[in-house]
Structure 1
Amino acid sequence: MFTAYLVVTLLTSVANGAAAIANFIGHDYPKSQADKLGVPRSWMLPLGTLLGAGALGLLAGFAVPVLGVLSAGGLVLYFLGAYGAHARVRDRQLGPWAVFFCLAVAALALNLAHHGYW
């Protein structure tokens, strides 16, 4: 159980950290997604900050378990909101979203299970 918790938490943290950095540096992919979904580009830094906070919170969860659980839950909510943005414009290209969402859900489930909250 600990190995799954460790691997999924690290993988989720790295993926979301990379996405945060892409938002911060103005990479073309987050810009094109924002344009396609009708999200103002001015939201890129705040959204990147949320992703970065989630990634760091998952890592902090190794020392303070409740932070990991809250961060994973926050990422699940973030990606549910992202799904809403995709659904609003009837975008059916959900592959990348599904990967991030499933990682966040897995991180939340494993955090809850590993720390005995579930």
Structure 2
Amino acid sequence: MTTVLALILSLVFLPLGLAKIAAVPVMRRAAAHLGMPTGLYRVVGALEVAGGAGLLMGLTWTSLGVAAATGLALLMAAAAVVHLRHGDPLVRALPAVVLALAGLAYAGAAVSAA
């Protein structure tokens, strides 16, 4: 189960993080929508890439995977709060909530399997 979750989460976070770092137009618009400078959005992207890579490395080094998943869960919880504080409908924050819960599920499964 941890392998599947790590792969799925990595397949989500790596491309999204790289798109934020590259400041592709859709990501620049998303940053602007939230009132976030592009530079800060790039930092978020770097954290997502680091987390996605950490999940993959966590397949052989469990503690790194748990740390990466926990960090991504916290990042996604913060993203959900930012969306809600910005006045976005709950449906805009829902993907971040789901990803946060998936990260916590991975961390819990990895710890219990160790």
Number of aligned residues: 114
Does structure 1 retain, via aligned residues, the 8 Å contact 2:48–2:72? yes
Alignment counterpart, residue 66 of structure 1, candidates 59, 63, 67: 63
Cα distance in 1 for partners of 2:80, 2:109 equals 26
Unpaired runs of 5+ residues, structure 1, are none
3-state SS, counterpart of residue 14 of structure 2 = helix
Please, which runs of 5 or more residues in structure 2 have no aligned partner?
Answer: none
1:102 aligned residue: 98
Q: Give the TM-score, by structure 2 length.
A: 0.86
Q: Kindly tell me: are residues 45 and 36 of structure 1, through their superposed partners in 2, closer, same or farther at Cα, counting changes over 3 Å?
A: same
Contact 1:12 1:104 in 2 (8 A): no
Percent sequence identity over matched residues?
29
The one-letter code matched in structure 1 to 2:25 is: D
1:52-63 map, 5 Å? 52-63=49-60
Whichever residue aligns with residue 11 of structure 1, its letter is I
Normalized against structure 1, the TM-score is what?
0.83
| CA displacement, residues 35-91 of structure 1 (integer Å, 9 cap, x when unaligned) | 111111121221111001100110111111011111111111101111121122101
